[in-house]
Amino acid sequence: MAANLTNQVRSIAEVTKAVALGDLSKKIEVESGGEILELKTIVNGMVDQLRIFASEVTRVSKEVGTEGKLGGQAMVEGVAGTWLDLTDNVNIMAANLTNQVRSIAEVTKAVALGDLSKKIEVESGGEILDLKNIVNNMK
């Protein structure tokens, strides 16, 4: 029994160490019961949730940031607390970038067609604000 408990604890330690190092591919596989089974279920569920979260954030980042596919949103069911906050913040960032780029594209297209009456109205800051001001000041 002591050897079995040692194996169970060792397996849990290996998985939690892997998670701490960013490896979300490991799961606790050892046979268990009672409190160890409950701990195994919780840790494996946490790893699954983290894997889904990481996958969604990576997908949205690639779509919007690298591939230029605007409008992407992370969809992660069952998240709460910090994970919900992070998901919401990624979605807000992606939505803001989408709105800014689409607005700049619309006005730039109008300017290219000779319509100088359109202005970029979307809220922005930093380098996007600089770009907005440059386009809005074209005459």
**Tens digit of pLDDT for each residue in 73-85?**
999 888 889 989 9
| Dihedral angle computed from the Cα positions of residues 106, 110, 112 and 115, in that order, rounded to the nearest 10 degrees | -160
User: Is 136 a member of any domain?
Assistant: yes
User: Is 15 a member of any domain?
Assistant: yes
Per-residue pLDDT tens over the stretch 121-139: 999 999 999 999 999 998 6
How large is the average pLDDT for residues 80-106? 93
Of 43, 69, 95, which one is at a domain's C-terminal end? Answer: 69
pLDDT score of 79: 85
Q: Does residue 94 register a pLDDT over 70? A: yes
More confident site: 30 or 21? 21
User: Is 56 a member of any domain?
Assistant: yes
Q: Are residues 12 and 56 in the same domain?
A: yes
Q: Are residues 23 and 54 in the same domain?
A: yes
Q: Are residues 54 and 17 in the same domain?
A: yes
Count of domains observed in the chain: 2
Q: Are residues 32 and 65 in the same domain?
A: yes
Q: Are residues 5 and 60 in the same domain?
A: yes
- Rounded to the nearest integer, the mean pLDDT of the chain is 91
Burial of 132 (0-12, 13-18, 19+ CB in 10 A): buried
- The whole domain housing 120 covers 79-139
Per-residue pLDDT tens over the stretch 1-20: 667 878 899 999 999 999 99
pTM: 0.76
